[in-house]
Amino acid sequence: MTQTKTMIQTEAIFDSVSYFLAQDQDVADLRRRIEDAVGTSGSFVHLVVVGNRQVSVLVTPHSRVTISVSTVAFDERDTGDTEYPYGGYYDMI
């Protein structure tokens, strides 16, 4: 019997909008950057999400953010390399 490869997937929800982070994202650093942004009147927090796409989220003192982790099936495409996006409208290029 072969062992199924797995990976940890991190989900960040910003004001009810969900983003699954690419594998190379430093979650501790993301938490710090969110905390820093909350200390301002508003600041963009940049992250790379599954599909190797860059996302910028405006975080304010009124933002609600939830971060959770789970184990999912391994996806070799999920590298965080924004030069090689996949999924969604990128598949039509």
If pLDDT is split at 50, 70 and 90, which confidence band does 1 have? low
Predicted local distance difference test score (pLDDT) of residue 76? 87
Average pLDDT score over residue span 18-42? 95
pLDDT tens readout for residues 34-78: 999 999 999 999 999 998 999 999 999 999 999 999 998 888 888
pTM: 0.80
- Residue ranges per domain, the chain? 6-83
On whether the CB atoms of residues 33 and 45 are closer than 8 A, the answer is yes
CA atoms of 65 and 34, how far apart (whole Å): 8
